[in-house]
Amino acid sequence: MSRNRRWGTVANLEAGVLIAVLNLVRPGGVAAESPTVAFPLSRIRTLPKEFGVQDETRTVISALAFNMQSYFDYDTLGNLARYCTNCQSLVSEYYATLDLPAGAVIDYIGVNNTTSSDGVLGFALYQRDRNAAKNVLANFSFPAHGWDTDFAGPLAILVPNHSDKELVLNVEQAASPDFQYFAWVEIWWHRTVSPPPATASFGDVPTGHPFFQFIEALRASGITAGCGVAKYCPDSPLTRGQMAVFLAKALGLHYPF
């Protein structure tokens, strides 16, 4: 432990320079699987802000919530982080659930970690379908540094319809004589409005209407049925009473019994 801490201090001092150099010399990334997220991994200090339910949402999965694949002697916590205690010759894998809604767009993925040499810790985001086929949505490996967060992005990964699929986070440690820790994974994402359908539901909101996409989204989600038979009345003024219906349905306002 003390050995690791000493090393961490030195690496912290050099981390900035190291990352800058890596960004220049390894633009294509190092991971073998594709599609590979392009470097640079960097300590982004201008991340978007969290904002309500629509704009950037930061989902943080602690290393505590990651499970290990197989072998018994990897399940140890150090520095409030996951690490492998016996990984001289074995690869260790850590997995966690990522539960995002369909239509979400993942913008950044960050992993807080400390690594003693390049590429020992790697990250992957998988989508697994019902027939056990897995699709790699993102993957990257980390440069050496003391405790810090590596970010990949902007990514623009669209989460498709979620039924009958799952998203799984993976942190992999390659065989190494040194301790490699990670503390958490953070996912920055935002919701999007569905793209417009091919045909119109309301006669007074044709496909060419400037609000067509949004009105169709309200209808498909059950928030509105329109103002009559196959009509939405897009130019009618809204009363406060009508808006109460829109909002209560949209938000699913349900207070305790």
Residues β-bridged to residue 148: 113
Asked if residue 20 lies in contact with residue 40, where contact means CB atoms within 8 angstroms, the answer is no
Shortest CB 96 distance to other proteins, Å: 6
Using rule CB under 8 A, residue 191 touches other proteins:
yes
Give the residue, chosen from 195, 208, 210, 252, that forms a contact with other proteins under the rule CB under 8 A.
252
Site for other proteins in 112-171 (CB under 8 A): 126, 128, 130-132, 134, 161-168, 170
Name 92's Cβ contacts closer than 8 Å, sequence gap at least 6: 68, 69, 71, 74, 84, 172, 173
Shortest CB 232 distance to other proteins, Å: 16
Side chain identity at 41, as an amino acid letter? L
Question: How far is residue 40 from each of residues 19, 36, 146, 148, measured CA to CA in Å?
Answer: 8, 12, 18, 15
Residues β-bridged to residue 152: 109
Using the minimum distance from each CB to other proteins, give the nearer residue, 9 or 67: 67
Using the minimum distance from each CB to other proteins, give the nearer residue, 96 or 155: 96
Residues β-bridged to residue 95: 67, 170
Using rule CB under 8 A, residue 249 touches other proteins:
yes
Report the C-alpha gap between 125 and 83 in whole angstroms.
19
Using rule CB under 8 A, residue 38 touches other proteins:
no
Using the minimum distance from each CB to other proteins, give the nearer residue, 199 or 239: 239
Local structure of 22: helix, strand or coil = helix
Report the C-alpha gap between 214 and 239 in whole angstroms.
19
Residues across the chain = 257
Report the C-alpha gap between 230 and 116 in whole angstroms.
64
Q: How many residues bind other proteins (CB under 8 A)?
A: 66
Using the minimum distance from each CB to other proteins, give the nearer residue, 34 or 163: 163
Shortest CB 124 distance to other proteins, Å: 10
Using rule CB under 8 A, residue 211 touches other proteins:
no
Using the minimum distance from each CB to other proteins, give the nearer residue, 26 or 58: 58
Side chain identity at 79, as an amino acid letter? N
Using the minimum distance from each CB to other proteins, give the nearer residue, 116 or 170: 170
Local structure of 146: helix, strand or coil = strand
Shortest CB 114 distance to other proteins, Å: 23
Give the residue, chosen from 25, 34, 49, 89, that forms a contact with other proteins under the rule CB under 8 A.
49
Side chain identity at 53, as an amino acid letter? V
Give the residue, chosen from 32, 156, 198, 253, that forms a contact with other proteins under the rule CB under 8 A.
253
Using rule CB under 8 A, residue 102 touches other proteins:
yes
Using the minimum distance from each CB to other proteins, give the nearer residue, 2 or 99: 99
Residue 71, CB-side half-sphere exposure with 13 Å CA sphere: 13
Residues that bind other proteins (CB under 8 A): 49-54, 65-72, 74-75, 93, 95-99, 101-103, 126, 128, 130-132, 134, 161-168, 170, 191, 217, 220-223, 237-245, 247-257
